[in-house]
Amino acid sequence: MLKAGIVGLPNVGKSTLFNALTRSRKAEAANYPFCTIDPNVGVVVVPDERAYVLKGIAKTNVVVPAAIEFVDIAGLVAGASKGEGLGNKFLANIRETDAIVHVVRCFVDDDIIHTMGAVDPVRDIEVITTELVLADLDAVEKRLSKTQKLAKGGDKDAAAEFALLERLQPHLNQGKPANVLPDTTDDEKKLLQFFQLLSAKPVIYACNVAEGDLATAEENPFVKQVAAFVKAHHDAAYVPISAHIEAELIDLSAEEAKEFLKDLGVSDSGVSQLIKGTYNLLGLQTYFTAGEKEVRCWTIKKGWKAPQAAGVIHTDFEKGFIKAEVVAYDDLTRLGSTAAARDAGKYRIEGKEYVFQDGDVVLFRFNN
Ligand code: GDP
């Protein structure tokens, strides 16, 4: 399962967001047993209304949504890369994630101390980013001397690695994250991931705004600052959220929640957008299996071919792949049934070279 780490300075709303997320969305995530050993890990489902439409067509009562694991990486402070706070432990936790959700404070509240003084989300982003970059610089320097020796010995892979590290070191030294290293080839991007660099991970900034500001968040001066910052950096995205609104949803029934959100002029606390944004940032998409037993959402990368996509269900599906019977979600829902889709020529038989599309509804045929 995809793993996203929640980071940010103290008092920006990380724990509020994490606790609210994992409690208010617990019912939806019932199919994913909670990690009871580690209270800092929670499973949150990826909202996808299409699964519920398919439920009606497949005549089943069960929907198993896709899910993301969120890890609360609290306590990252300036100096973490030098072991301040519980620095090294936190950095190691981040290393294990696929993406970073970086919460920045965009609400003003004099009762809640801002550890850096006034509210300034771009400065906060830079403080945390600096810690990640410094930790990476350490790792890169260690790796440089090792690969240099191997490269000199004639190892071609080491030579390619060394060339990249030599460009990376001065870049990190300027305080810039690895994910904005210019002119990287696809192979080099893979290497950056392979190095497990913290600042090479995709980032989404969650701008935590005051409850009353969510409906007009794009006009919030702090959110605007983050938007301008993100525009200047690729491999980043931002979403306004309200951790407080999400927290208030915990004890409300579905009806009450709807009414409460309506009064605030929003349809969600921003969290659905945050989850979808994380999904997009990572280049992920969904396909469905739909039968009497259940409708199930499966997560794959964009561009994956049929056998690889089948492999997320079971490795046997990938190994023994024969063909996939595929109907696009739009065709199936427009026509109303598999039989009607077949009559309309929209039910396709696809082979090994077929590239999966978002929303494909699929039945696999395989040898076992
Ligand atoms: P963390 O240190 O980043 O995990 O921050 P917490 O989630 O513990 O929040 C710190 C304090 O800020 C708590 O008292 C929260 O209730 C408060 N807080 C979080 N989000 C908001 C918000 O949107 N508005 C206001 N006024 N307070 C918030």
pLDDT in tens, 184-202: 998 998 888 888 899 999 8
Average pLDDT over residues 79-87: 61
Instruction: Looking at the CA of residue 243, tell me the nearest atom of ligand 1.
Output: 20
Is any atom of ligand 1 closer than 6 Å to the C-beta of 109?
A: yes
Q: Which of these three, 199, 219, 246, is where a domain ends?
A: 199
Is any atom of ligand 1 closer than 6 Å to the C-beta of 199?
A: no
Domain that holds residue 243: 2-47+67-117+202-281
Phi, psi dihedral angles at 7 (to 5 degrees):
-125, 170
* Bridge partners for 349 per DSSP: 325
| Substitution candidate for ligand 1 out of 11, 22, 213 with most atoms within 8 A of CB | 11
The reply to whether 109 and 212 lie within a common domain is: yes
**pLDDT at site 35:** 41
Residue pair 288/329 in contact (Cβ under 8 Å)? The answer is yes
The reply to whether 207 and 273 lie within a common domain is: yes
Residue pair 97/71 in contact (Cβ under 8 Å)? The answer is yes
- Put simply, whether the predicted model's pTM sits higher than 0.80 gets the answer yes
Could you identify the residue written with the tokens 């989404």? 204
Is any atom of ligand 1 closer than 6 Å to the C-beta of 251?
A: no
Is any atom of ligand 1 closer than 6 Å to the C-beta of 210?
A: yes
| DSSP string computed for 298-351 | EEEETT-BHHHHHHTT-HHHHHTEEEEEEEEHHHHHHH-SHHHHHHTT--EEE-
Is any atom of ligand 1 closer than 6 Å to the C-beta of 13?
A: yes
Q: Which of these three, 199, 222, 250, is where a domain ends?
A: 199
Q: Supply 74's token pair.
A: 């609290």
* CATH code assigned at 135: 1.10.150.300
The reply to whether 206 and 188 lie within a common domain is: no
Residue pair 313/83 in contact (Cβ under 8 Å)? The answer is no
Is any atom of ligand 1 closer than 6 Å to the C-beta of 11?
A: yes
Instruction: Looking at the CA of residue 12, tell me the nearest atom of ligand 1.
Output: 3
Decide if pLDDT at 46 tops 60. Answer: yes
The reply to whether 8 and 153 lie within a common domain is: no
55 assigned to a ligand binding site? no
Decide if pLDDT at 341 tops 50. Answer: yes
266 assigned to a ligand binding site? no
Residues across the chain: 368
Decide if pLDDT at 34 tops 50. Answer: no
Residue from 226, 139, 236, 152 nearest 191 by CA = 139
In this structure, the residue with its CA closest to atom 22 of ligand 1 is 210
Residue pair 162/144 in contact (Cβ under 8 Å)? The answer is yes
User: Which range, 76-85, 265-274, 328-337, has the best average confidence (pLDDT)?
Assistant: 328-337
- Residue 214, Cβ neighbours under 10 Å: how many? 24
**pLDDT at site 81:** 64
**How many whole angstroms separate alpha carbon 217 and alpha carbon 231?**
17
Is any atom of ligand 1 closer than 6 Å to the C-beta of 243?
A: yes
Average pLDDT over residues 17-38: 61
pLDDT bracket for residue 45 (50, 70, 90): confident
Decide if pLDDT at 37 tops 70. Answer: no
* Bridge partners for 72 per DSSP: 6
User: Rounded to the nearest whole angstrom, what is the distance from the C-alpha of residue 109 to the centroid of ligand 1?
Assistant: 9
Rounded to 10 degrees, the C-alpha dihedral 154/160/164/166 comes to 10
* CATH code assigned at 242: 3.40.50.300
16 assigned to a ligand binding site? yes
Residue 34 domain-assigned? yes
**pLDDT at site 76:** 66
Residue pair 361/327 in contact (Cβ under 8 Å)? The answer is yes
Phi, psi dihedral angles at 68 (to 5 degrees):
-125, 140
**pLDDT at site 69:** 87
Residue 298 domain-assigned? no
Give the count of domains, the chain.
3
pLDDT in tens, 258-301: 999 999 999 888 988 898 888 888 889 999 999 999 999 999 99
321-328/360-366 β-pairing: antiparallel
Residue 330 domain-assigned? yes
Decide if pLDDT at 86 tops 70. Answer: no
| Substitution candidate for ligand 1 out of 112, 207, 249 with most atoms within 8 A of CB | 112
Residue pair 124/12 in contact (Cβ under 8 Å)? The answer is yes
Buried b (16+ CB within 10 A) or exposed e, 261-295: beebebebbbbbbbbebbbebbebbbbbbbeeebb
**How many whole angstroms separate alpha carbon 312 and alpha carbon 24?**
28
Is any atom of ligand 1 closer than 6 Å to the C-beta of 50?
A: no
In this structure, the residue with its CA closest to atom 7 of ligand 1 is 13
The reply to whether 143 and 160 lie within a common domain is: yes
The reply to whether 223 and 266 lie within a common domain is: yes
Is any atom of ligand 1 closer than 6 Å to the C-beta of 77?
A: no
Average pLDDT over residues 304-330: 94
In this structure, the residue with its CA closest to atom 23 of ligand 1 is 210
User: Rounded to the nearest whole angstrom, what is the distance from the C-alpha of residue 17 to the centroid of ligand 1?
Assistant: 8
- Residue 174, Cβ neighbours under 10 Å: how many? 7
Q: Which of these three, 251, 281, 311, is where a domain ends?
A: 281
Decide if pLDDT at 136 tops 80. Answer: yes
Is any atom of ligand 1 closer than 6 Å to the C-beta of 212?
A: no
